[in-house]
Amino acid sequence: MLFVIDVGNTHIACGVYKGDSLINSFRVRTEKNRTADELGMLFLNFFRYYGIDVTDIRGVAISNVVPPLTFTINLMCKKYFNKEPFFIGPGIKTGMPILYDNPKEVGADRIVNAVSAYKKYKKALVIIDFGTATTFDCVTRKGEYIGGVIIPGIEISLEALAERTAKLPKIELVTPSKVIGKNTISAIQSGIIYGYAGMVDAICEKIKKEMADKNIGFYATGGLASVISRETKYIEGVEPNLTLEGLKILYEMNEGEI
């Protein structure tokens, strides 16, 4: 079995693969001050709950965009899983040319998503990841990562709105029935849902013109992907486990199959 860990700024998404099957997955909050022991015991509790024997884990693959947690995660893997973890980073095999001014600047999760999506669809594509930041990652039909777009994420926008205004509350993010809100909560929901959907479509339209590929595909991932994608005209599919799948692909490419 392979244990895959995607450390994001807001959540840590984890999955366990048996062969090509994702048998279980779970998410925990990202807390920079957690110790290796705290993380180890937290993960082991999930393993016990799902009935997974930790001794069946043959490898650990990690994507991490929170540098302060690198040492902690590394120590946790060695102590609680008795494994030297495989980190996504510069120098690993990806099978994908990174045509960025400085390839080292590209977040590990963005490369993982690009590799994962291209292996599945084998065509020019854009991955829109609705995470702490909303990112657009562009891959050519030849499988080249050519760059993308980064904008503040939906949750960041909601938090900023609540913190910087005296009367606007934090809200549950659901799609309102109408664009014109009849109360403050539905007005905010409308602004966030339809506003982000419109922004996504506008950016996708410009990317499509710039990439000049008639067969380009647009796919979404991340926690809020399903909410926003329903209101867009460009997003044609949601891939909730794209990063976990990419971690498995890159692990096998570099370390061999489990």
Active-site positions read: 109
Output helix, strand, coil percentages for the chain, rounded to the nearest 5: 40, 25, 35
Separation between Cα atoms, residue 184 and residue 168, nearest integer Å: 7
Would you give the end-to-end CA distance of the chain in angstroms? 6
Strand ranges in the chain using DSSP code E only, listed in sequence order: 2-7, 11-18, 21-29, 59-64, 86-87, 125-130, 133-139, 145-152, 217-221, 237-238
Residue 64: closest CA among 56, 72, 52, 54? 72
* b/e code 126-158 from CB counts within 10 Å (16+ = b): bbbbbbbbbbbbbbbeebebbbbbeeebbbbbb
